[in-house]
Amino acid sequence: MPARKDARRNIAGVRAVAALLLCGAACWCPTLRAQTPAASPAAPPVYKDFVDEVGRTVRIPQPVQRIISLSPSLTETIYALGLQDRLVGDTDYCDYPPEAQKKPKVGGAINPSLEQIVALRPDLVLVTKLNRLETVNALAVLGIPSYATDPHTVQEIVSSTERLADVLGVPEAGATLGADLERHLAVLRQRLTGSVPRRVLFIVWPDPLISVGKNTFIADALRLAGASSIVDSSQDWPQMSLEEVVRLQPDFLVFAESHDSGQNDFDVLAERPGWRGLDAVRNRRFAVISEAVNRPAPRIVSAIEDLARQLHPEAFSAHPDDDKEKKNPSPAQPQLSFRSMDSSSGDPALLETCSCAH
Amino acid sequence: MSSYARSPVSATRPLGDAGDFNSDIRLSVEQVSYAYSANPAQAPLFTLEATSFQARPGEIVAILGPNACGKSTLLKLIAGALDPLSGRVLLNGFVTHALPHRTRGQRIAMVQQESPLLFPSRAWEFVLQGRHAYGRTLRFETEEDILIARNALAQVGAEHLSDRWMDQISGGEKQRVILARALAQQPLLLLLDEPTLHLDIGAQVDLLETLRRLASANRYTVVVVTHELNLAGQYADQVALFQKGKCLRVGTPAKVFQRELLEQVFQTSLTVELGSSGRPRVNMPSAK
Amino acid sequence: MRPLTLSRLLAHCAILAAILFVVVVIALKLGAVPVSLYGLGRDLLRVLFRQTSQLSSEYQLIIFDIRLPRILLGIFVGASLSVAGASFQALLRNPLADPYVLGVSSGAAVGAIIALIVEPHLALAPAVAALLTPIGAFIGAALTVTAVYFLGLRQGQIDSSTLLLAGIISASFLSAIIMFFMSTLTGGNYRGMAFWMMGDLSTPPQRIVSLVLRFGFFLAAGTIYTTAADLNLLLAGEKEAMHLGVDVRRVRLVVYIAASLLTGLAVSVSGAIGYVGLLVPHVMRLLFGSDHRILLPTAAFGGAIVLVVADTLARTVVSPSELPVGAMTAIAGAPLFLYLMRRRLA
């Protein structure tokens, strides 16, 4: 018996050591890492440091030839800056302008395929707060720089566009675009002087009732359109109770157009129980604007103008260009803000860079 | 059997006794008492008062009494599962509660009401569990283990059940397999808690006959908790009679089965008659 | 009478290891960039011998920095969750137990969301920032495990039903906190949290995180394996196990800590991937029996296989989009669970 016990102990010992060795090997072996790729034979890229809008310092190779956009608003901005030829990939949701839909896709904003991104060999990936921290960090670890934008007001959208143009190496286009947007906004401001802001409820989603908080760029856009959101919350997407809304009695309900026409949105809403308590519903006082208002891109300015027209028709009635504008509450073709309200401010060079087909 | 020659090295030596114990006595319950309370803040709810008795190899001891008189608690104390409030339980001179778990599993086997099985297993798997205390970590059952398990099943007459699923055999058959598992532990002490509860009279007799046979053949000390008076009277060598946590009498069945005592404990009128073998039989009065 | 032997165990494990190998090779082949098997084998050797200059850099990056780590992550997370699931089913004596039933995943989610809140305020290098979420998640998991342990004590010992109750209540409470955070916090993107919570293998982990995961797996799973025979007896009943020589108190504590460690590591790295920890042990029981000495290793292999398959499907089915892998395991898992229940083996 004793001899057998010793033999058993030896075998147990050998097994233990073997197991440990196996574990060690398994732990270490697969951490093979590809070595950093050899430098390409062409001239080594020049790097420049930029600070993005969330405060990170990013080293970006200059010039930026291959861009991937992980946000529909940034895709729009790239087209607005005329850089669409450098855009090598975007998300499934980048649908404006329509040509953007033909670009190679890398997945959704929240769950893009890292493999696809890497396969497209970008110099820079553009991100917003819509994208996950993990994605951004993973890109950094893979050696791909990412630049984040995060505007909270319409003014910041303009300056963000200009800064992005700097980063991408086209400061002139950025300045021009910025100036044009500023001009539109200035004209609008002037027209609306003296107008009393309409109290509105911007409806993101009817059930549960979700609106926008005061710190969002959408709230700022409403302000510039001569409206003031009745929602005074610091959350970005606050959920409202219908009772509270009825108590506050907004003058207008504002919708961003979705797939169906805006008329439909309102009618569907008016049928829902409880909404009859709103004067705005009973008197059919609603405005529908382009979904461009949801994206922090240059196109938002035209949505602001459109909303201003619907809320303050009297501020626009004295202007000769009025008959050119549509009074239809559901604009079927949202346009980039290059279409001048005042023909004298038209800029042929700018119209050239506009790639929209309208 | 080699198991009897092995002595647990790490168990406590009896106090004030340099290992010189009466080799004839295997189990010694010395002034053991117990109290437990469900809530630590409250006073103890249940008590087992100081109890003493002794048992030899090959003996069957019956712990007798009405429900909730502390019988099961005493059994757990003997098994070493509980720590007595006072006194001690010695198995071959070693305090049962102080034995390491493995050693306890090699010395003391318990047969009690089974928890329901979670995942089905076969009878032989079940019996092999009794060999667990003899194995090292990460080892698989040896030929010896298989032999002992098969032997155990044979000893209880359940060899034909070896490949059957545990949830598909009858209550009596299951009881036999559970006993086989206890035997596979090759214990010194075999403890049974109300083993006859769900058995018919034939199965009850069968079980007790088996216990007597095994006790004398394998020199087990058997302690059975029961409230079946006549089974205890017929098969036990010693009986300990309990009422409300107090041990009223210990001795041979003839000595303990006194009519007045039994009537006091069981709160009903009874008659006791001595059989030809010297063993008492308790009768109920005829229905009026 | 055919008790388990070492040779049978090794034979079954070898078969499963072979299946895992085949699955891994297929997974390496599929993805955004097509890979040929011959090319893959040749490149693998090249990397081993450090001759990487001939490989195109994106290819290298994709295969070795994205795809291979992802597959390995799937292997270890799947194995961890399955072993933890089998262990909790034994510990809690409940066939419906999964690794998250004691609140580990909810605690990890709270930790992760706190890390997300805190991260913008700390200026960290990307490599360090990427560590913040797993570390936060792990701390959250560890705190929850500790709290549930103390809540689950009864008279100084772990009691299965009290533990289960404490775990379920903690999980609900923490889930409510997460909902609260996600709906009231401003400024950050917490929608990503919903994605994380569903379970996601898509972001390649830092090397240190991978090492900790693998080391932790072997340590914890190995420890649980040493109690495999005890667990067999525990399933027969705790009282019975004690009388048969099992140190029930010690085994319960060891298994609780080790299984929680496995779960905590897995969840910290990849979120709460569902159904793997619940179903794979049952399937393996169906195939190989309830003896934990074979159940635990086969569950580990089974979990690895299942998760790698699910993840490969998740990243190729609607390419270039990715489905969350937790959704794939749920879609496949729910019907399978129902089927097993009908066969009354769950």
In this predicted structure, which of A260-269, C144-153, C169-178, C292-301 has the lowest mean pLDDT?
Answer: A260-269
Contact B27, B103 (CB under 8 A): no
Q: Residue B15: is its pLDDT beyond 80?
A: no
Which residues of A are less than 8 Å from C116 in CB distance?
133
Cis peptide bond prior to A97, omega within 30° of 0: yes
Q: Which of B154-163, C5-14, C327-336 has the lowest mean pLDDT?
A: C327-336
Q: Do the chains contact at A114 and C202, CB–CB below 8 Å? A: yes
**Nearest CB neighbour to C33, from listed A37, A119, A136:** A119
Nearest-CB residue to A235 (from C48, C186, C322):
C186
Per CATH, which fold does C6-342 belong to? ABC transporter involved in vitamin B12 uptake, BtuC (1.10.3470)
| CA A64 – CA B151 distance, rounded (Å) | 83
Domains along the sequence of chain A with CATH: 46-150 (3.40.50.1980), 194-341 (3.40.50.1980)
* Residue range B169-179: mean pLDDT, rounded: 89
Spatial distance between the Cα atoms of B209 and B195, rounded to a whole number of angstroms:
13
Give the model's pLDDT for residue C50. Answer: 67
Interface membership of B133 toward C (CB under 8 Å): yes
pLDDT for residue A329 is more than 80? no
Are residues A136 and C126, on separate chains, in Cβ contact within 8 Å?
yes
Strand partners, B91: B27, B94
CB-nearest to C191 from A27, A55, A110 is: A110
The pLDDT score that the predictor gives to residue C52 is 58
* Average pLDDT of the segment spanning A286-313: 91
Is A125's pLDDT higher than 90?
Answer: yes
Q: Across the interface, do A8 and B138 touch by the CB < 8 Å criterion?
A: no
Range of weakest confidence among A177-186, B74-83, B175-184, C39-48: C39-48
* Mean of the per-residue pLDDT values of chain A: 79
Q: In terms of pLDDT, which residue wins out, A229 or A358?
A: A229
| Contact between chains at B105 and C243 (C-beta distance less than 8 A) | yes
Can you give the pLDDT at residue A261?
54
Average pLDDT over residues B275-282: 88
Position C251 confidence tier, pLDDT thresholds 50, 70, 90? very high
Chain C residue nearest residue A20, CA to CA: C218
Residue of C nearest to A35 (CA): C52
Q: CA torsion C270→C274→C278→C284, rounded to 10°?
A: -70
Higher pLDDT among residues A261 and A306, named by residue: A306
> Which residues from C are below 8 Å from B81, CB to CB?
239, 242-243
A18: left (phi over 0), alpha (psi -120 to 50) or beta: alpha
More confident residue, B154 or A7: B154
Question: Which of C2, C244, C283 to mutate: most B Cβ within 10 Å?
Answer: C244
Window from A145-154, B204-213, C27-36 with minimum mean pLDDT: C27-36
The reported pLDDT for the residue numbered C65 is 83
User: CA angle C152-B116-B224, nearest 5°?
Assistant: 100
pLDDT of the residue at B148: 94
Q: Phi, psi at residue C27, to the nearest 5°?
A: -65, -35
User: CB C285 to CB B146 under 8 A?
Assistant: no
Cα–Cα distance, B8 to B17 (Å, whole number): 17
What is the torsion angle, in degrees rounded to the nearest 10, for the CA atoms of residue A233, residue A234, residue A235 and residue A241?
A: -10
Question: Which of A36-40, A151-155, B138-142, B239-243 shows the lowest per-residue confidence on average (mean pLDDT)?
Answer: A36-40
Q: Is residue C4 less than 8 Å (CB to CB) from chain B?
A: yes
B188 touches chain C (CB under 8 A): no
Task: Say what the alpha-carbon torsion angle A253, A259, A264, A269 is, to the nearest 10 degrees.
Answer: -50
Q: What is the pLDDT of residue A21?
A: 66
Question: At residue A259, does pLDDT exceed 50?
Answer: yes
Task: Please tell me the predicted confidence (pLDDT) of residue C122.
Answer: 79
pTM check: above 0.80: yes
Other Cβ atoms within 10 Å of A344 Cβ, number: 5
One-character DSSP codes across B171-228: HHHHHHHHHHHHHHT--SEEEEESTTTT--HHHHHHHHHHHHHHHHHHT-EEEEEE--
| pLDDT tens profile B60-95 | 999 998 887 788 899 999 999 989 988 999 999 999
Order of all β-strands in the sheet with B86-91:
B46-55, B27-36, B86-91, B94-95
Q: Do C321 and A37 touch (CB under 8 A)?
A: no
Q: Min CA distance, C307 vs chain A (Å)? A: 18
Which residue in C219, C16, C257 sits closest to A19, CA to CA?
A: C219
- What is the pLDDT of chain B when averaged over all its residues? 85
Computed over every residue of chain C, the mean pLDDT equals 87
Contact state of A8 with B136 under an 8 Å Cβ cutoff: yes
- The average pLDDT across A33-42 equals 44
Would the CB atoms of A8 and B139 count as touching at under 8 Å?
yes
The reply to whether B5 touches chain A by the CB within 8 Å rule is: no
Q: Which residues of B touch C235 (CB under 8 A)?
A: 117-119
Task: Provide the 8-state DSSP code for C100.
Answer: T
Residue in C closest to A235 by C-alpha: C186
Return the residue matching tokens 């946590």.
B245
d(CA A263, CA A260): 8
Judged by average pLDDT, the poorest of A12-21, B49-58, B71-80, C242-251 is A12-21
What is the C-alpha separation between B219 and B229, in angstroms, rounded?
Answer: 24
Residues of C with Cβ-Cβ distance to B103 under 8 angstroms: 245
> What's the confidence (pLDDT) of residue B219?
92
The minimal CB distance from C290 to the residues B121, B128, B139 is found for B121
Q: What is the mean pLDDT of residues A217-225?
A: 93
Instruction: Tell me which of A42-46, C3-7, C212-216 is least confident.
Output: A42-46
β-strands C153-154, B280-283 pairing: unpaired
Place C339 in a pLDDT band, splitting at 50, 70 and 90.
Answer: confident
Highest mean pLDDT among B104-108, B281-285, C181-185: B104-108
In the prediction, which pLDDT does A27 show? 60
**Residue A182's pLDDT band (boundaries 50, 70, 90)?**
very high
User: How would you classify residue C255: left for phi > 0, otherwise alpha for psi between -120 and 50, otherwise beta?
Assistant: alpha
pLDDT of residue A260: 55
Residue C345 contacts A where some CB pair is shorter than 8 Å: no
Task: Enumerate the residues of chain C whose CB falls inside 8 A of the CB of residue B117.
Answer: 235-236
Q: Once rounded to an integer, what is the mean pLDDT over residues A23-37?
A: 51
Chain C contact set for B110 (CB, 8 A): 239-240, 243
Instruction: Decide if pLDDT at C126 tops 80.
Output: no
Name the minimum distance, in Å, from the CA of B257 to any CA of chain C.
32
Residues C178/C109, Cβ–Cβ less than 8 Å: yes
Residue written as token pair 């196990």: C241
Write down which chains contact chain A via at least 3 CB pairs under 8 A: B, C
Contact C33 A115 (CB under 8 A): yes
CA distance C228 to chain B (A): 8
Q: What pLDDT shows up at residue A237?
A: 85
Q: C331 or A333, which is more confident? A: C331
Neighbours of C5 (CB within 10 A): 13
Rounded CA-CA distance B22/B16 in Å is 14
Highest mean pLDDT among A50-54, A236-240, C194-198, C214-218: C214-218
Chains near C with 3+ CB pairs less than 8 A apart are A, B
pLDDT at C13 > cutoff 90: yes
How many percent of chain A have pLDDT more than 90? 39
H or E, element range at C346:
none
**What ipTM was estimated for this complex?**
0.84
Q: Which residue has the higher pLDDT, A341 or B226?
A: B226
pLDDT above 50 for C15: yes
Query: Is the separation of the CB atoms in A132 and A110 below 8 Å?
Result: yes
> Looking at per-residue confidence, does C304 or C53 come out higher?
C304
Residue range C51-55: average pLDDT? Answer: 60
Q: Of the ranges A318-327, B264-273, C34-43, C141-150, which one carries the lowest mean pLDDT score?
A: A318-327
CA distance A173 to chain C (A): 30
**pLDDT (0 to 100) of residue C344:** 60
Average pLDDT over residues C100-121: 88
Of A27, A55, A135, Cβ closest to residue C214: A27
Interface test with A, best of B3, B138, B140, B141 (most A CBs within 10 A): B138
Residues 49-78 of C with CB under 8 A from A: 50, 52-53, 55-58, 60-68, 72
Q: Which residue of C has its CA nearest to B178?
A: C240
A358 pLDDT higher than 90: no
- β-bridge mates for residue A252, sequence order: A200
What stretches of B64-200 show up as alpha helix (H) in DSSP? 71-79, 101-107, 123-128, 143-155, 171-184
**Chain B residue with the nearest C-alpha to that of C251:** B101
Judge whether A39 is closer than 8 Å to chain C, CB to CB.
no
Domains and CATH numbers, chain B: 24-92+190-203+220-288 (3.40.50.300), 107-187 (no CATH)
